[in-house]
Amino acid sequence: MSTHPLFIDNLAFAKKNERLEGVLSALDCPRLLELLQADLADGALKAGQDAVAIHYILQGSTDSVGQHYLRLIISAKLVTACQRCLSEMPVTLRLTYNYLIGESVADDDEVSDIESDDVDLQEASQTMDIVKLIEDEVIMAMPIAPTHDEDCGAGVMQSGEKPNPFAVLKGLIKPE
Ligand SMILES: [Zn+2]
């Protein structure tokens, strides 16, 4: 698979209020792919489905006091494996991140203020790797031990009918 490197000058991007919108394939994110149900991702790709697509919007902005921000919005439907029944499990992610771009290495006091306000700091860079950023955020957002909401513990039972535990006992009690 081809990769799509995507680099921006993040400070210039924010100053110009630029906007970038696109779709990444999870297949371009090898570290993320390891977390997914790889077979299913392959299948989805071959079928031309949208199952491994990561939609993103990156919006630059500058606030009234001249601080430069990036907002990243990610929307993805991925398929991973349920850790209980090991079958396919869709994961829908809708994520929003705000980053303050530091022109220089900010002093520690400033950084701690920022972090308390749901804004992450990004160092100013002329070659900020957007694909890596998106991949990192999606990986961080993926559930560590995903399981189906419904009780899928008896996942091998296809009929949905649970075995009656007393049925075994009945067989043991022989009528005289
Ligand atoms: Zn399950």
**How many distinct structural domains can be found in the chain?**
1
Domain membership of residue 101 (yes or no) is yes
To the nearest whole percent, how much of the chain has pLDDT over 90? 43
What integer pLDDT is reported at residue 38 of this predicted model?
62
Closest CA to 10 of 121, 135, 117, 111: 121
How far apart are the CA of 82 and the centre of ligand 1, in A? Answer: 5
Q: Are strands 68-81 and 53-62 parallel, antiparallel or unpaired?
A: antiparallel
Domain membership of residue 34 (yes or no) is yes
How far apart are the CA of 166 and the centre of ligand 1, in A? Answer: 26
pTM: 0.74
Which residues make Cβ contacts (< 8 Å) with residue 154, sequence separation at least 6?
Answer: 162
How far apart are the CA of 156 and the centre of ligand 1, in A? Answer: 10
Could you read off the pLDDT of 36-83 as tens digits, one per residue? 876 665 665 565 555 678 999 999 999 999 999 999 999 998 888 888
Element (H, E) at 15: helix 10-15
Q: Positive or negative, the Cα torsion across 18, 22, 28, 31?
A: positive
Could you read off the pLDDT of 105-121 as tens digits, one per residue? 545 555 445 444 688 99
Residue 67 one-letter amino acid: Q
How far apart are the CA of 78 and the centre of ligand 1, in A? Answer: 15
What is residue 115's three-state secondary structure?
A: helix
What integer pLDDT is reported at residue 81 of this predicted model?
84
How far apart are the CA of 176 and the centre of ligand 1, in A? Answer: 44
How far apart are the CA of 28 and the centre of ligand 1, in A? Answer: 27
Q: Positive or negative, the Cα torsion across 129, 133, 136, 139?
A: negative
How far apart are the CA of 67 and the centre of ligand 1, in A? Answer: 46
Domain membership of residue 176 (yes or no) is no
Confidence of residue 2 (pLDDT cuts 50, 70, 90): very low
Domain membership of residue 88 (yes or no) is yes
Domain that holds residue 74: 7-152
How far apart are the CA of 155 and the centre of ligand 1, in A? Answer: 7
How far apart are the CA of 84 and the centre of ligand 1, in A? Answer: 5
How far apart are the CA of 163 and the centre of ligand 1, in A? Answer: 18
Domain membership of residue 171 (yes or no) is no
Domain membership of residue 139 (yes or no) is yes
Confidence of residue 89 (pLDDT cuts 50, 70, 90): confident
Domain membership of residue 91 (yes or no) is yes
Tokens, residue 120: 């992450």
- Residue 170 vs residue 15, higher pLDDT: 15
How far apart are the CA of 20 and the centre of ligand 1, in A? Answer: 36
Domain membership of residue 173 (yes or no) is no
What integer pLDDT is reported at residue 99 of this predicted model?
96
